């Protein structure tokens, strides 16, 4: 991902960087150029709300290309030949949409992603890009490129559904979180349940399944006992007053913060509140049945430890997917004979799942339990703002990659938080003769780091970011634009620029600490906080553009932003968590304040 994204963006961003410096020289006012660039980015962020919802990738690329070519024509280049080529290319681009070429390109590139399967449908929702593929009569649904379910995975579905429900003597009222369209609903309905409440926030996922998968209507979605809610599971459970016999979490592994929020201490505590006294909560994780070790052991143990911190009793069912059945009461393990008896009494018809399979399934239960218990002291709990489960899962995938971050995370994880403060202090001391330039670098770092943290917290609290990321970026860029305008008026009042810079440093530090207290369930607060951070950063950069050359400020700003984006996501949050990450960023600005005031004196 790092390699492909770099190859895709670096050529474009090099051209944008050079053009910005040339335009600064052309209009002889770097501050105006900076203000207009930020305002253009703000408009692009707002436009993304429409583009992501109603346009495909190639149509967005076509729009950007058309705007660049139109700019060439408006600039009126000296070479008539060059201008003629630009005009002809622009005319050729206008012919592509009516001829349907953009749609053909979109279909072709989508087919490349999922070869050798045939792509039936690809559409965007506010939660994800949804793609449905077919291979013979076998259908697979992908969310953001990750497999959500396949229609021929009958063996795994039967095992998951029946092993869970057989462990409850009378499963009457069920809450299913995600994955019902895979066929799991149909398996659950084979038990004597009275009602199933199915939570699936993405309406387009249900629409795609019902429209394109022929057997989807037989998966129980139209059964009278099933009630479908298009709501986020966490917000639904927080306001729920119903008690359930079984809560089943059928979600993919926490490969993103959007998924990780369903495997945290906070979510498990919410589940605990809505369970009946003898109720069960069940979930499944990618695992290994024969030899459980290394990164997969750390990942499984972290989530097992997290569940154990909330629920008194956990039954482990080993396999390629480790099933955890959590309950509020400490109860003896149901023997295979009792489960077999329940299976026969309920007259359940299955293809692969048999009573004899229960004995084999529970054979290695003791070994897995022993491995998980022994490894608990070496893993951390998975929490909303300390998403260790998410990073443990990334480590599992990381073992399959040539570019390994495991050693980096292990090394930085041993570093005490106080050492981070000492490192920041040392860096400022080294650059004490160029404190102002160090402040520019750290301001670029702070701006992008806080924007990433706000995006992370938004995804944790609301469960989606795909559709709102453009607004968060737009808010930050609007703040930059307004801040640079305000810096012009501040300089006209002849206020010493270092005095203003000191005020901005302390303001940014206070906001960094206040973020995790302010950012909760109101979306407007997220956009307002991003706008304010952008505004303060824009005022500061406006001051520096008046003191240093345009290319100096621009290079330092973007270098700091580059370092901030890499370190925040890959090192700071994995090792420190979101709370300490905010404190570390605030510490960066407070130390800068000390050096600025010392230099001013």
pLDDT digits (tens, 9 = 90+) for 164-178: 999 999 999 999 998
Range in 190-194, 354-358, 588-592 with the lowest mean pLDDT? 354-358
Which tens digits make up the pLDDT trace of 518-553? 887 788 899 999 999 999 999 888 888 878 888 888
Element (H, E) at 412: helix 406-413
Residue in the structure block whose two tokens are 């629920």: 311
Give Cα 246 distance to the centre of its chain: 28
pLDDT surpassing 60 at residue 152:
yes
Residue range 104-128: average pLDDT? 85
Which tens digits make up the pLDDT trace of 129-139? 888 999 888 88
Residue range 135-150: average pLDDT? 84
- DSSP classification of residue 285: E
- Res 424: pLDDT: 74
The span from the CA of 557 to the CA of 530, in Å, is 18
pLDDT surpassing 60 at residue 108:
yes
pLDDT band (50, 70, 90) for residue 327: very high
Which tens digits make up the pLDDT trace of 483-525? 988 887 777 777 677 788 888 889 999 999 998 788 877 888 9
pTM for this model (two decimals): 0.84
pLDDT surpassing 60 at residue 600:
no
pLDDT surpassing 80 at residue 302:
yes
- Res 78: pLDDT: 67
Backbone φ and ψ of 496, nearest 5°: -55, 130
Burial 7-17 (b: 16+ CB within 10 A, else e): eeeeeeeeeee
Element (H, E) at 303: helix 294-308
Residue range 110-125: average pLDDT? 85
- Top-confidence residue, 10 or 569: 10
Query: Six-digit token pair at 488?
Result: 């012009």
pLDDT band (50, 70, 90) for residue 409: low
Range in 14-23, 384-393, 412-421 with the lowest mean pLDDT? 412-421
Residues in the chain: 601
Closest by Cα among 180, 217, 171 to 199: 180
pLDDT surpassing 60 at residue 347:
yes
Which tens digits make up the pLDDT trace of 211-232? 888 777 667 788 899 999 998 8
Residue range 121-127: average pLDDT? 81
pLDDT band (50, 70, 90) for residue 320: confident
pLDDT surpassing 90 at residue 22:
no
Closest by Cα among 369, 262, 280, 356 to 316: 369
Question: What's the whole-number average pLDDT of the chain?
Answer: 86
The span from the CA of 284 to the CA of 342, in Å, is 22
What are the structural domains of the chain? Answer: 55-112 (no CATH), 113-147 (no CATH), 151-395 (3.40.50.150), 414-600 (1.20.1250.20)
- Res 80: pLDDT: 79
- Res 301: pLDDT: 95
Residue range 48-75: average pLDDT? 85
Give Cα 508 distance to the centre of its chain: 25
pLDDT surpassing 90 at residue 310:
yes
DSSP state string for 437-450: HHHHHHHHHHHHHH
| Residue 415 Cα distances to 47, 375, 420, 513, 540, angstroms | 42, 21, 8, 21, 32
């Amino acid at each position: 991902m790092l390699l492909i994204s770099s190859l895709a963006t670096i050529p474009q961003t090099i051209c944008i960087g050079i053009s910005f410096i040339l335009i600064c020289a052309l209009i002889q006012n770097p501050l105006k150029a900076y203000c207009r660039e930020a305002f253009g980015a703000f408009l692009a962020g707002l436009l993304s709300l429409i583009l992501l919802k109603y346009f495909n990738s190639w149509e967005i690329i076509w729009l950007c290309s058309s705007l660049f070519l139109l700019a060439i024509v408006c600039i009126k280049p000296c070479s008539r030949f060059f201008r003629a080529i630009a005009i002809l290319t622009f005319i050729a681009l206008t012919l592509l949409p009516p001829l349907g070429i953009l749609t053909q390109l979109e279909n072709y590139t989508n087919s490349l992603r999922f070869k050798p399967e045939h792509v039936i449908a690809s559409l965007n929702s506010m939660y994800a890009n949804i793609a449905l593929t077919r291979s013979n009569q076998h259908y697979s649904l992908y969310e953001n490129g990750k497999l959500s379910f396949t229609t021929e995975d009958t063996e795994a579905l039967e095992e998951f559904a029946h092993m869970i429900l057989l462990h409850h003597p009378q499963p009457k009222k069920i809450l299913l979180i995600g994955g019902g369209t895979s066929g799991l609903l149909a398996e659950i309905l084979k038990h004597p349940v009275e009602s199933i409440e199915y939570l699936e926030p993405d309406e387009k996922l249900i629409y795609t399944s019902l429209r394109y998968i022929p057997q989807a209507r037989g998966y129980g979605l139209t059964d009278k006992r099933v009630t479908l809610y298009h709501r986020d599971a966490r917000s639904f459970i927080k306001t729920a007053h119903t008690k359930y016999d079984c809560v089943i979490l059928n979600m993919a592994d926490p490969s993103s913060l959007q998924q990780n929020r369903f495997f945290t201490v906070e979510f498990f505590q919410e589940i605990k509140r809505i369970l009946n006294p003898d109720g069960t909560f069940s979930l499944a994780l990618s695992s290994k049945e024969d030899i459980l070790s290394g990164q997969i052991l750390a990942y499984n143990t972290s989530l097992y430890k997290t569940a154990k911190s909330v629920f008194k009793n956990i039954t482990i069912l080993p396999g390629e997917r480790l099933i955890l059945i959590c309950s509020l009461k400490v109860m003896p393990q149901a023997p295979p004979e009792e489960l077999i008896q329940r299976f026969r009494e309920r007259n359940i018809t299955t293809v692969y799942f048999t009573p004899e399979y229960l004995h084999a399934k529970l054979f290695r239960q003791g070994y897995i339990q022993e491995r998980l218990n022994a490894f608990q002291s070496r893993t951390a709990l998975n929490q909303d703002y300390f998403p260790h489960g998410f990073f443990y899962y990334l480590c599992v995938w990381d073992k399959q990659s040539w570019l390994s971050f495991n050693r980096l995370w292990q090394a930085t994880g041993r570093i005490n938080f106080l050492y981070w403060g000492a490192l920041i202090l040392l860096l400022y001391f080294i650059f004490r003769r160029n404190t102002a330039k160090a402040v520019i670098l750290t301001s670029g770092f702070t701006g992008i780091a806080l924007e990433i943290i706000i995006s992370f917290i938004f995804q944790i609290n609301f469960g989606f970011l795909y559709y709102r990321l453009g607004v968060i970026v737009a808010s930050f860029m609007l703040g930059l634009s307004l801040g640079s305008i305000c810096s012009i008026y501040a300089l006209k009042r002849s206020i010493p620029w270092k005095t203003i810079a000191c005020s901005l440093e302390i303001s940014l530090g206070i906001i960094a600490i206040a973020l995790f207290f302010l950012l909760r369930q109101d979306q407007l607060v997220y956009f307002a906080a991003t706008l304010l951070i952008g505004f303060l950063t824009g005022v500061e950069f406006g001051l520096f553009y008046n003191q240093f050359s345009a290319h100096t400020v621009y290079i330092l700003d973007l270098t700091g932003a580059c370092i901030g984006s890499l370190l925040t996501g890959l090192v700071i949050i994995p090792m420190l968590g979101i709370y300490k990450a905010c404190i570390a960023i605030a510490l960066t600005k407070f130390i800068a304040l000390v050096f600025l005031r010392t230099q001013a004196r």
